């Protein structure tokens, strides 16, 4: 009935709890919206109906209580899927770590699924510390590998230690190469005396990364990993270490690696010192690749400098010719203008054109006036009175 009273559904659920316990879950699923959930919850807990209590807490917006009931009464109330779903709704972060400890004790095979569902909600450093205290860190290896992209220091240290314990040198090498946020010196000290040579190679690699090149080269020499030693010398950019390595190869009659070292550390060596070293040791034949490279480089540099010098001279000649060709028209225009300025005015010009009148008191007024004189006299023959 649509208008049935809430009390009917509530009291019927209470009666089921007392007398028909198998029908309680079905009744709660059908009518939980039409009954007093709190009263039915108390009755379920009193009658130890823990699965039904978890269901009612879940729909009464009390996920924390539902999780606590599942942990405390796991034989009848636990459900992995329900617990994972409820963990997405809780606000009490302590429950995450409580669930982790519960899974370690009762559901260890499902702990990695649990951790994947809450990886964004837990503190990774706190989680690693918790797992180390319990001694079950190895159980969470798949989860640690998944979250290593976060490059958390505690996670990296824990993973590297696990790889060392199980002697997984391949994963350890990949871990130290791709994730550098860990105690590199401590790991190098742990692996440098390992019985497997691959772990000692990892130690040499770690010493190289923290710029302890001498320790790295010594480990590589001891294990006859000469290629690693050459790479360490080249990366160090230390000339002294390079010459020490060359002398080591000479003493141990490793002629091929002597050639490799010369070619790899080519930019750190001086030709005169290499020539003296190879002449004294009788390894001139093995040094020929180095000298061929030196000769090619010097020839190339000389050709480059010579070509550059010739190009510069050609450019200077072209620039001078352009300047000369531009200066000739300018000089011609200048000379033409100077010639026009030196030409005088026309010989026949009236006084009005010159802008001069006849001065008073100059010469005879009845004389014919000359075009360029005053009072009939030219400028050059004029004599002032009294002279």
176 within domain boundaries: no
> How many other CB atoms sit within 10 Å of the CB of residue 190?
17
41 within domain boundaries: yes
303 within domain boundaries: no
Residue 144: the pLDDT is 94
End-to-end alpha carbon distance in the chain: 157
What's the pLDDT tens digit per position in 129-180?
Answer: 999 999 999 999 999 999 999 999 999 999 999 999 999 999 999 999 999 9
Q: How far apart are CA 182 and CA 190, in angstroms?
A: 13
Total domain count, the chain: 1
26 within domain boundaries: yes
> Worst-scoring range by mean pLDDT, 62-76, 266-280, 351-365?
351-365
Q: What is the DSSP string of 224-288?
A: T-HHHHHHHHHHHT-HHHHHHHHHHHHHTT-HHHHHHHHHHTGGG--HHHHHHHHHHHT-TTTTH
Average pLDDT of the chain, as a whole number: 84
Regarding predicted confidence, which is higher, 120 or 347?
A: 120
Output phi, psi for 362, to 5 deg: -100, 110
Structural domain including 15 reads 1-60
212 within domain boundaries: no
Query: With 70 as the cut, is the pLDDT of residue 340 above it?
Result: no
Task: Show the tokens assigned to 5.
Answer: 């009273």
CA 374 to the chain's CA centroid: 100
43 within domain boundaries: yes
27 within domain boundaries: yes
Residues for the chain: how many in total? 387
345 within domain boundaries: no
Cα atoms found within 13 Å of the Cα of residue 241, Cβ hemisphere only: 21
């Amino acid at each position: 009935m649509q208008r049935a009273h809430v009390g009917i559904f509530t009291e019927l659920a209470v009666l089921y709890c007392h007398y028909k316990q198998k029908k309680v879950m079905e009744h709660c699923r059908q009518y939980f919206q039409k009954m007093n959930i709190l009263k039915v919850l108390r009755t379920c807990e009193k009658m130890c109906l823990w699965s039904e209590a978890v269901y009612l807490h879940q729909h009464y917006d009390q996920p924390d209580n539902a999780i606590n009931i599942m942990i405390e009464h796991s034989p009848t109330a636990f459900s992995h899927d329900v617990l994972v779903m409820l963990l997405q709704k809780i606000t009490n972060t302590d429950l995450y770590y409580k669930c982790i400890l519960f899974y370690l004790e009762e559901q260890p095979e499902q702990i990695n699924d649990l951790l994947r569902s809450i990886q964004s909600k837990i503190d990774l450093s706190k989680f690693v510390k918790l797992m180390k205290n319990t001694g079950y860190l190895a159980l969470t290896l798949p989860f640690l590998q998944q979250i290593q992209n976060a490059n958390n220091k505690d996670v990296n240290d824990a993973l590297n230690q696990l790889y060392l314990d199980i002697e997984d040198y391949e994963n350890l090498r990949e871990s130290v190469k791709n994730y550098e946020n860990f105690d590199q010196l401590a790991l190098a000290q742990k692996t440098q005396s390992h019985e497997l040579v691959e772990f000692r190679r990892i130690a040499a690699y770690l010493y190289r990364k923290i710029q302890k090149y001498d320790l790295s080269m010594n480990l590589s020499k001891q294990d006859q990993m000469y290629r690693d030693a050459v790479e360490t010398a080249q990366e160090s950019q230390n000339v002294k270490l390079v010459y020490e390595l060359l002398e080591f190869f000479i003493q141990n009659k490793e002629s091929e690696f002597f050639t490799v070292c010369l070619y790899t550390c080519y930019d750190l060596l001086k030709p005169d010192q290499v020539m003296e070293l190879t002449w004294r040791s009788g390894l001139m034949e093995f040094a020929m690749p180095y000298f061929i490279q030196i000769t090619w480089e010097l020839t190339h540099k000389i050709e480059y400098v010579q070509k550059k010098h010739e190009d510069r001279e050609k450019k200077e000649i072209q620039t001078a010719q352009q300047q000369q060709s531009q200066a000739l028209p300018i000089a011609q225009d200048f000379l033409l203008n100077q010639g026009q300025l030196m030409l005088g005015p026309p010989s026949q010009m009236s006084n009005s054109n010159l802008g001069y009148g006849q001065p008073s008191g100059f010469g005879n007024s009845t004389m014919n006036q000359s075009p360029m004189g005053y009072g009939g006299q030219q400028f050059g023959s004029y004599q002032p009175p009294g002279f």
